[in-house]
Amino acid sequence: MALAGLHDLSGMQTLGDPDWLGLVVDSIADGFGLLAPDFTILRLNSEAYRIDGRPREDLIGRSHWEVYPGTEHSELGKLYKQAMVDRLPVRIEHRYAWPDGRVSDLETRVFPVANGCLAIFYRDVTDQQQMVMQLRASEQRFRAAMAAIEGVLWTNSAEGEMIGEQPAWAALTGQSFDEYQGYGWSRAVHPDDAQPTIDAWNRAVETLLPFAFEHRVRRHDGEWRTFTIRAMPII
Cα distance between residue 131 and residue 127, in whole Å? 6
Can you give the pLDDT of all 235 residues of the chain as single tens digits?
333 344 444 444 444 455 666 666 677 788 999 999 999 999 999 999 998 999 999 999 999 999 999 899 999 999 999 999 999 999 998 888 888 888 888 999 999 998 999 999 998 888 777 777 777 777 776 666 655 555 677 888 888 888 888 888 999 999 999 999 999 999 999 999 989 988 888 888 888 888 888 999 999 999 999 988 887 766 5
**DSSP of 62-126:** SBHHHHSTT-TTSHHHHHHHHHHHH---EEEEEEEE-TTS-EEEEEEEEEE-GGG-EEEEEEE-H
Per-residue confidence (pLDDT) for residue 29, from 0 to 100: 83
How far apart (Å, rounded) are the C-alpha atoms in residues 89 and 84? 9
Q: What is the DSSP letter of 40?
A: B
- The torsion angles phi and psi of 74, rounded to 5 degrees, stand at -85, 175
Closest CA to 170 of 191, 185, 151: 185
CATH code 3.30.450.20 for 149-231: yes
d(Cα 115, Cα 27) in Å, to the nearest integer? 23
Domains 15-128 and 149-231 share a fold: yes
The DSSP bridge partners found for residue 111 are 119
pTM: predicted TM-score of the whole model, two decimal places: 0.51
The order of strands in the sheet holding 41-44 is: 41-44, 31-35, 118-124, 103-112, 90-97
Question: 15-128 sits in which CATH class?
Answer: alpha beta
Three-class SS state of 220: coil
Angstrom CA distances, 55 to 6, 26, 48, 59, stand at 28, 16, 11, 7
- Parse the chain into domains and list their residue ranges: 15-128, 149-231
